[in-house]
Amino acid sequence: MSFAHAAKAAGVRRFLLVSAMGADPASSIFYSRVKGETERDVAALGFETLHIFRPGLILGDRSERRPLEAIGMSLAPFLNPLMLGPARPYRSIPAETIADGMLGAAHGQEKGVLIHAYDAIRQYTGR
């Protein structure tokens, strides 16, 4: 939030935020609630364009040890193809793909608050 406030004060008109699937300020799950509160509070700053990226499990190297995420990452290649319909947005996605999607979105001309899950993130990369 401090960075978003500083950006707004500096005159930034477009802001990009990585959040998470399931973000909801009313969630009983702490992680989802904090992500949802952050989305809500950044949106309230009134950027001309706010891109909110909501990936599922982010794949990539971690400096900290997260055993459950490590298990999820090892299962992702097998689980992703099975995640269809309402589960599709929860597919895991490489950090590099999210970064590429953010770069693509940053070059767009959309306005307003735009929320991007798995398919939209990949669409911005051109993949």
Domains recognised in the chain with CATH numbers: 2-125 (3.40.50.720)
Q: What is the pLDDT of residues 98-124, one digit of tens each?
A: 999 999 999 999 999 999 999 999 998
Model pTM score: 0.90
Distance of CA 28 to the CA centre of its chain: 20
Strand-pairing partners, residue 49, are 14, 112
**Which parts of the chain are beta strand (E)?**
14-18, 49-53, 58-59, 93-94, 112-116
Please give the pLDDT value at position 32. 96
Average pLDDT over residues 48-65: 90
Kindly report the backbone phi and psi dihedral angles of residue 15, in degrees, each rounded to the nearest multiple of 5, phi listed first.
-135, 140
Q: What is the pLDDT of residues 33-46, one digit of tens each?
A: 999 999 999 999 99
